[in-house]
Chain A
């Protein structure tokens, strides 16, 4: 056990955790905004896939990871606009449309990839990590925490920005009202449809960035169905965070650790099955829920379409 706390193992663990956490963090942040506004976005995984595909192509052809991330955000927004039109404007069922969007995204992205590259998986040369001056020379954290793509730091800052936005600004108040009592928001003269559309589109952009990060920085290439359930993990995290978005950082880090721990343990020559490790975070949450039985509070108008004049 004493080779568990060596420098390479810890570095690999933290670096791997940050790599695995970032896509989930972005997606869960987006989902939080959307859920606060009353839209349960089950299509999150689909938006991540669109972001991953668009982001990868952006980075591949424009030769810049930043351009790729931007394309990823756009890809996510395109997917989210489908959701905005169908669920917010036309008020169709959010779960049906969410699942449809997810299946459609899986199909379309892998189809496009197949048509474009066949069986080849081109890689991106420069994935754009930086080394933070001075701090990067520190042991363990230098090679992990301070050698990341800047989007990781931006993402963490963004979480705090969203927290401030939700709590202190009138936009945040409108968003929360759209999820809690849309009737009151409507009575106050704010357009519920527009507020929810803003929420869904920002969710799409964030999920798109998360997907793009996964393709550009995480894997360096796009493979069909590469998100492998991280969108659904993000949905669970957003629900557990209950609108307190800073928890999103903490919980996605815990998930990041659990996703990368088996690789790190292999470096320490300890073999633990990935199946066991990946199961642990969920098991912990379930045990905590059973033992402490916390009410998981959700916005009361979540997943309900808003019809003016109906009660």
Chain B
């Protein structure tokens, strides 16, 4: 399929921002307006439901940003989300629709959680943890080989294949946890728990582990590679196969590489999450982070640095919203309303910006 989905990725995303009517102020308004609108709309909804919107949003800010514990939790969550977002950016830049992020993430998590306790015990902390991070990345990358092969060699649409591999990955992760990795712990089937002192090292006296450093470092690296190197340019050229052949880019090899890098980062995210915060994989665990990140990186116009800000916002909403909904006696799914509205308004704001630029 030679279709270009969505915006034309060959165009440098930053270049558009400097289009007529551009400017730093407008870029900020562009980010703030949708947040305000979604907060307003959800606030009205809260008021209709008889909840006080101000105390609800206060609770989100309080528990996600302003208290030390909440802030630390948000930063920990950011590490997981950022690596997934980075993986998606690489694939989307090449116009490869990797919609199987959750399967890649869960399978990598299951493998890492299953092997980590014994491996870290056997070969010791730093080396063991590093090996586990590599394992996670490798599993994530492996899970993209089939879609990449079908796409590169036979032009089978990757949306279908990644979605199917996604379902297989989710089920396979469960099979692993209920089978080979099962422990005798009571309750939900789960892998053995990695002891707290053997997890990823924490920064200073906080709950924050080094995952955030890995994640931010990776995002900066991705940004550099995509915008400043020949590989980045080739990836963007890959978005249009004819142009790619014309300028001598080898589409088959590059498709494999882009898919593998995408899966590796998503797998790394799973590893960081297991080794840093969860410590164990439970059956039927699926936070669906991968799916949440798809529209997000798109609205950040596949810009890795801009994505950091968006992900920070989402992490605070997720962490703070968890407590806020419980306090307001609402289902936790209320946060999905807020997130859905935020995405709608972001897309609509983008629409008006593009129309003015036209």
Contact = CB atoms under 8 A, between A and B. Distances in A.
Do A and B form a real pair? yes
Interface of A: 40, 86, 90-97, 99-108, 110-111, 113-115, 224-225, 229, 232-233, 235-236, 239-240, 273, 275-276, 278-279, 282-283, 285-286, 289-290, 293-296, 298, 300-304
3 nearest A-B pairs in the assembled complex, by CB-CB distance: A104-B340, A107-B336, A107-B337
A276 B175 contact: yes
B161 A303 contact: no
A296 B351 contact: no
Contacts of B153: 293
A293 B1 CA distance: 14
The B contact surface, by secondary structure, is helix
Contact of B339 (A103, A229, A239, A290): A103
A107 B317 CA distance: 14
A90 B146 CA distance: 36
Nearest to B146: A286
Interface residues of B, number: 53
B331 A110 contact: yes
B165 interface: yes
Interface in B224-273: none
A150 to B, nearest CB: 31
A97 B344 contact: yes
Contacts of A283: 168
Contact of B156 (A40, A90, A92, A293): A293
Nearest to A232: B163
B298 interface: yes
B6 interface: yes
B333 interface: yes
Contacts of A99: 291-292, 294-295, 343
Contact of A103 (B149, B157, B336, B351): B336
B49 interface: yes
A134 B105 CA distance: 53
Contacts of A235: 163
Nearest to B335: A107
B17 interface: no
B175 A295 contact: no
Contact of B292 (A103, A107, A224, A279): A103
Contact of A286 (B157, B164, B338, B343): B164
B3 interface: yes
Contacts of B167: 229, 232-233, 278-279, 282
A276 B171 contact: yes
A300 B156 contact: no
Nearest to A82: B344
